[in-house]
Structure 1
Amino acid sequence: MSLSRRAFLSGTTGFVASAALSSVPTLAHSEMMLGNIQLDVVSDGSLTLPGSFIFETMPKDALAPILNKHNLSADVLEPPINVTLMRHGARTVLFDVGSGSDFAPNSGMLLQSLDALGVAPEDITDVVFTHAHPDHLWGLLDDFDDLLFTEATYQIGQVEWDYWMNPNTVDTIGDARASFAVGAKRRLDVIADNINLFNDGDEILPGVAARATFGHTPGHMAFEVRQGAQAAMILGDCIGNHHVAFEKPEWESGSDQDAETAAQTRLRLLDQLAHEKTLIIGYHLIGNGIGYVDKSTSGFTFVAEDT
């Protein structure tokens, strides 16, 4: 009997999961309801980043007390990867698909996290991308470069699509991110015949509206999920951490491709979210990424929600 590629991967998942879980005792998971919309936040693991990736452009004297307050190293950061799963009626929707196995050694756990909820890749009806950085897009394909979510329809913002599909992007993005451009185009090419493009303000699914949050990437989008008076904002990376992004949102971050625009986006969005007391889900925020924004005299604070 011959094994299909999918069957082979299924057979090896247990070994990979055991190796990954030896350093990660449990798969992080939180669940909430907005009316009859169920949102689950599941783990794709974590990243290990040099602190300079974010902090290089920031004033060191003013940065130090913030890092001390949050018990963070200036040298190494290990942000979580929080993927949002939405179930509403007949739809099972993923917002981003994690890193896959090719980007970071502590990531690529999304399929195990979904399996823990009884969700198989073929159950996913829709995949919506905030943007096309590796830890959000590269989980699209398996180890054989086959599409994982075979029954899904895909959606991404028009501006983001145009940027990563432009053959000149690899030459203009800078050496440090050239592999991002190559990897993004290769994966987006696979779904080019099954992609829906949208713009700011579009209702991309029932109860889900796109919100332009440009700067981290040229066409980055957040998503407001709403039912009646209840709402949650899926942030992606427009607010990329729980420390300096909140306390000093005006500071330019090395993680953003257009740092000036990203800072303006953060300031505007944090002010709105704090004023409206909107529940947020952040891709790299602590506490499974779920919480609220409080405004303080000097900036903002992330208040993690117990769910």
Structure 2
Amino acid sequence: MSFTRRTFLQTGAALPLLGSLPTLAKAELSLGSATLTTVSDGNLVLPANFIFETMPQDELAPLIQEFSLSGERITPECNLALYQDGTNTVLFDVGSGPDFMPSAGSVVNSLDAIGVAPEDVTHVLFTHAHPDHIWGLLDDFDEPVFYEAEYMMGRAEWDYWWNPETVNTIGDARAAFAVGAKRRMEMIENAVTLFDDGQEVLPGIAAVSTPGHTPGHMAFEVRNGSHAAMILGDAIGNHHVAFRKPDWRSGSDQDGDLAIKTRNMLLDRLSSEQMDLIGFHLPNGGIGRAEKSADGYTFVSEAS
């Protein structure tokens, strides 16, 4: 398969540390007669320990230096995948919306920059229900942004966040995640379709169970003819330690040990099949491939 018409749309300097308007990044992948495009929702601003605290610090230090990371904070991109096959316009996740972080929540502007209006989206498929993936469901008036879309979520993920006990068991640091997810899910309760692992949720789009980051996290294999790509969500959450050291526990994962198994499964498959991937928090628009290396794996960006 080939990459076509990659552009990066600049609408002003991005200052992620200050929470200013983000760069609108677009990367596009040709998938047979269909296209997969990533559109930016901005970026997150997180304390570095949110990911790194659970890792061996002596071994981590050289990687922080190699990848020019900050030991204080990280600012990962938020890249939403948009699939268009001439019939369906499918958005994977909906971003952060106006209530999570000032540096994120710009997906509607990014879609507008490529000529896609909210009402053009026919389906929204959720990888999981963390704030940067589902809080963008509602606008400032608590109305659904993608009001013409059919909403679809994995059954295990829906059941987890719908359970009234989740807010009491998820831990204080993530309690607001549970409250925010439930409130938004209540708005689509009567309009959501649930699916299970391995199910073809739409023509050419199959659900792939990838738990660990959340209990019911789903990736999606998108196939058009002989061409395929994997939409990862947060199952592989960054381009540095997740690839180089997939056996390290990440503080961003709700079940660190299960996430390790999922990460290794995905990286082995993606590298052996040389399948294109789209990662929500991977750099330069998030499209690329995984290559096996002597010390783990390497993310090879489509933009590199």
- Above 0.5 in TM-score? yes
| Number of residue pairs aligned between Structure 1 and Structure 2 | 291
- In the other structure, the counterpart of 2:144 is 147
Q: Does 1:286 align with 2:283?
A: yes
For the residue of structure 1 that corresponds to 2:98, the secondary structure is coil
Query: For the structure 1 residues 20 and 301, does the alpha-carbon distance in structure 2 shift closer, same or farther, using more than 3 Å as the test?
Result: closer
* Superposed CA offset, 1:76-132 (max 9, x none): 000000001111122111000000011111101100000011111111110000000
Q: Which amino acid aligns with 2:189?
A: A
> In the aligned structure 1, how far is the partner of 2:226 from the partner of 2:60?
38
- In the other structure, the counterpart of 1:193 is 190
For the residue of structure 1 that corresponds to 2:180, the secondary structure is helix
Please report how far the alpha carbon of residue 227 of structure 1 lies from its aligned counterpart in structure 2 after TM superposition. 1.3
- In the other structure, the counterpart of 1:216 is 213
For the residue of structure 2 that corresponds to 1:211, the secondary structure is strand
Q: Which moved more, 1:179-188 or 1:117-126?
A: 117-126
Bigger Cα Rg:
1
Q: Which has the higher helix share?
A: 1
> In the aligned structure 2, how far is the partner of 1:285 from the partner of 1:204?
25
- In the other structure, the counterpart of 1:271 is 268
Please report how far the alpha carbon of residue 33 of structure 1 lies from its aligned counterpart in structure 2 after TM superposition. 1.5
Please report how far the alpha carbon of residue 20 of structure 1 lies from its aligned counterpart in structure 2 after TM superposition. 7.6
* Superposed CA offset, 1:4-33 (max 9, x none): xxxxxxxxxxxxx98989955741001122
> In the aligned structure 1, how far is the partner of 2:262 from the partner of 2:289?
17
- In the other structure, the counterpart of 1:3 is none
Structure 2 unaligned spans of 5+: 1-10
Query: For the structure 1 residues 238 and 150, does the alpha-carbon distance in structure 2 shift closer, same or farther, using more than 3 Å as the test?
Result: same
Picking from 254, 259, 264, the partner of 1:257 is: 254
For the residue of structure 1 that corresponds to 2:79, the secondary structure is strand
Q: Which amino acid aligns with 1:299?
A: G
Query: For the structure 1 residues 287 and 18, does the alpha-carbon distance in structure 2 shift closer, same or farther, using more than 3 Å as the test?
Result: closer
> In the aligned structure 1, how far is the partner of 2:139 from the partner of 2:185?
14
* Superposed CA offset, 1:164-219 (max 9, x none): 00001000000000000000000001001011111110000100000000000000
Q: Equivalent residues in 2 for 1:1-307 (5 A)? A: 23=20, 26-306=23-303
* Superposed CA offset, 1:120-155 (max 9, x none): 111111000000000000000001111111111000
> In the aligned structure 1, how far is the partner of 2:230 from the partner of 2:108?
23
User: What is the TM-score when the length of structure 2 is the normalising length?
Assistant: 0.93
Structure 1 unaligned spans of 5+: 1-16
RMSD (Å), alpha carbons: 1.6
* Superposed CA offset, 1:204-258 (max 9, x none): 0100000000000000000000112211100000000000000100000000000
For the residue of structure 2 that corresponds to 1:138, the secondary structure is helix
Query: For the structure 1 residues 164 and 82, does the alpha-carbon distance in structure 2 shift closer, same or farther, using more than 3 Å as the test?
Result: same
For the residue of structure 1 that corresponds to 2:134, the secondary structure is helix
> In the aligned structure 1, how far is the partner of 2:174 from the partner of 2:59?
28
> In the aligned structure 2, how far is the partner of 1:258 from the partner of 1:37?
35
Q: Which amino acid aligns with 1:233?
A: M
> In the aligned structure 1, how far is the partner of 2:121 from the partner of 2:262?
31
For the residue of structure 2 that corresponds to 1:101, the secondary structure is helix
Which structure 1 residue ranges, 4+ long, deviate > 3 Å from structure 2? 17-26
